[in-house]
A and B are shown apart, each in its own frame.
Chain A
Amino acid sequence: MKVLFPATAALCALVWAQALPAQSKAKAQNVPEIPYDSVPNLIKMPANLYLGEAMGVATNSKGHFFVFTRSNTTRLFEFDASGNYVREIGEGSYGFEFAHSVRVDPEDNIWVVDEGTNLVIKFNPAGRVVMVIGHRPDVVAGAVATTNAPAPPAQKYILGRPTDVAWDPQGNIFVSDGYINNRVVKYDKNGRFLAQVGTEKAGNGKTELNLPHGIAVDAKGDVYVADRSNHRLQVFDNNLGFKASYDNIGDSWTVCVSPGPHQYLFTSNSNPNGNAPGTWETTGEIYKMELDGTILGRFGHASKQPGGFQVVHMMDCRNPNEIYVAEIESWRVQKLLLKPHAEAKK
């Protein structure tokens, strides 16, 4: 039995790895292409400072943008609107072990989501920690082997490899959680638990999730969740009741809702890690949609060259015609300038 257990675990891991769903070709057909340019050489890094995997990018109200990256250690960098390096925030933070997302709230606070420490950390504009959600497992417990056993019951204030964060107009906090749990949690602005949809278990029912990987909230407080492994985008109301499911846009890896009187929804059918033959031709595009799910157009494609995408992980759409994308496997951030395009037939 002693021998059997690790062998079984290894077998499970093997099967699990092979059973990773291939990235989906979107069902939506005849979607207008939105032409765009990628700003060349956007980021100017100081000598001997490098981005690693670019996991998140977010702009603030002044046009500065923040990049959360898996470098030697996980790091958070700030750049001005021209891409000039401004500063590092949280250098050596106890909460930085494996970057996943960065977002900026309406007051220009900078929020990062780290799936290596199970934390969501709020920095004020000066770069100081002002709130921590979740709890890093005690280091003294030592390294614990990741198992494929079912996740333990989800707890209010403990996250399981969280992925993203968003806010409604009242300042309530929504966390997509994550790789271990399969839920979205709503906290009030002071960090107190209010509600959740989904549980620790993955599922494909209306109020179930399977790897919620990104999250955004519109001005009405409706919640858009990139339900990645369910090959769909789920919409919930402000109390996390089911509203709609958009399943024609491939695998939603990340979502973004632009501000302003007319809000748009963006979702990325990112080309997969692993790049199975043929997938570059059918994935990698980003969709621009109305909040009700109407597709307006699409742009981008899988490619390692500038202008193409090598696995878009998170994006920023403060200006719906200027999209920032953070790419995992190209270790880069691009700024995309969308051009006028033919309207989709409604």
Chain B
Amino acid sequence: MKRRWTILPAAMLFASGLYAQAPDINFDANANLLKYPDSVAIGEVAGVATDSKGNIFVYTRTGHPTITIGTSRPFAHGGSRLYQFDRTGKFVREIGKDLYGFLVAQQVRVDPQDNVWVVDQMSSMVIKFDQNGRVQLLLGRKSESERVPAPPLDAPGRAGRGPAGAGAQSDIFNRPTDVAWDNAGNIYVADGYGANARIAKFDKTGKFVKSWGAKGSANSQFNSIRGIALDSAGNVYVADAGNKRIQVFDGDGNFKSQITNVGSPSAICISSGPHQYLYSSNSNPPEDIDHDGEIYKLELDGRIDGKFGRAGKLPKEFGTVNAIDCRRENELLVGELGNWRVQKLTLH
């Protein structure tokens, strides 16, 4: 009887969808952490990540996205930059200046060996840099040219970006969004915004292994994958934003569970250490800053520890968070598309 007594109210709460009742976590925010040189005018912050030394990498939509005139085809160039800062926010350097694959910044992540991985949404490439900023590995291929006017974003095989459609077994991406690794170094790519709706797995040498997923809302189906993260056991957490859930798989793509009470997961992160936490942002869309925007802190099994923040333009408010770095449990960095900034958050 006692057991039943405790479970019932919790189940009722869950069923009524009152996830807004998650406890509020107090936090402080520093919106002026990064010190830019005069020559750097940063735009939308798509990705932010730290390495083991505390260096901060920012992949940002900065500069002028440009289409140039060719003999018969228009070519896309530029529009995104990758910057490195030290742990105090002091500018260190630019990486990948004028790189062929830097078009529309989507994400940056740092692997356990401190390699810096960039995901570009428009070149549909995943680019691995070593600590010295040299390109080590490329996944996907930038389409040779653009079509003007562009076909619809969800058009199959848009602009020659690989075989069409959900679950395509291919090493070519369509608007990929994120990258993660397991302990063996296998690479998992969230793919992504476009007509593909799948997770693509590669071995550590970059050889395609398999992919899983399809467009839809059933288990193992996706609708706009915004992020991916792995825990130390090798489970794969997928931010299935369009379906308002995080799906959890084993490393072979077998469905395990889903987390459904955290809004639309638009950026996720799993902290390191013996007790891992999952962070997930219910980011507001650019056209609305009056709803949503909060970030959830969860246990890996989906239980919510609390939430913090809301959409807005002030410090301590969030403008379309696209990235969370959570190398330390209660010290987060968030990258905002809407407010063109990185904030450092300290949870209490």
Contacts and interface: CB of A to CB of B under 8 A. Distances in A.
B339 A132 contact: yes
B1 interface: no
Interface in A193-215: 193
A92 B40 CA distance: 8
A60 B84 CA distance: 34
A138 interface: yes
B149 A145 contact: yes
A192 B146 contact: no
Given A140-B175, A158-B286, A135 B338 contact: yes
Interface centre among A95, A139, A193 (most CB of B within 10 A): A139
Contacts of A275: none
Nearest to B147: A142
A94 B61 CA distance: 7
Contact of A139 (B122, B193, B338): B122
B313 interface: yes
Contacts of A132: 313, 319, 338-340
Nearest to A123: B41
A111 B85 CA distance: 28
Given A140-B175, A190-B313, A91 B79 contact: no
Q: Looking at chain B, what size class is its interface with the partner chain?
A: 35 or more
Given A90-B41, A190-B314, A139 B61 contact: yes
A140 B153 contact: yes
A157 interface: yes
Given A139-B104, A190-B313, A92 B63 contact: yes
Interface string A81-124: 00000010011111111000000000000000000000000000
B65 interface: yes
B288 A157 contact: yes
B6 to A, nearest CB: 42
A141 interface: yes
A129 B148 contact: no
Nearest to A155: B287
Contact of B122 (A93, A135, A140, A144): A140
A31 interface: no
A73 interface: yes
B39 to A, nearest CB: 7
Contact of A142 (B36, B63, B149): B149
Q: Looking at chain A, what size class is its interface with the partner chain?
A: 20 to 34
A142 B289 contact: no
A192 B289 contact: yes
A191 B44 CA distance: 17
A139 B289 contact: no
Contact of A193 (B67, B148, B290, B341): B290
Given A94-B62, A139-B79, A191 B313 contact: yes
B41 A92 contact: yes
Given A94-B43, A132-B340, A140-B104, A191 B289 contact: yes
Interface string B22-39: 000000000000001011
Nearest to A145: B149
Contacts of B248: none
Given A92-B41, A190-B312, A192-B290, 16 more contacts: A92-B62, A94-B43, A129-B41, A131-B339, A132-B313, A132-B340, A135-B338, A139-B61, A140-B103, A140-B121, A143-B67, A144-B149, A156-B290, A157-B287, A157-B289, A158-B286
- Pairs A-B, 8 closest by C-beta atoms: A142-B150, A94-B43, A135-B286, A191-B313, A143-B148, A140-B122, A139-B65, A145-B149
27 contacts: A90-B41, A91-B41, A92-B41, A92-B64, A93-B62, A94-B41, A94-B63, A95-B43, A97-B64, A129-B41, A132-B319, A132-B338, A132-B339, A135-B338, A139-B104, A140-B122, A140-B193, A143-B67, A143-B148, A143-B150, A144-B149, A145-B149, A157-B286, A157-B288, A190-B314, A191-B312, A191-B313
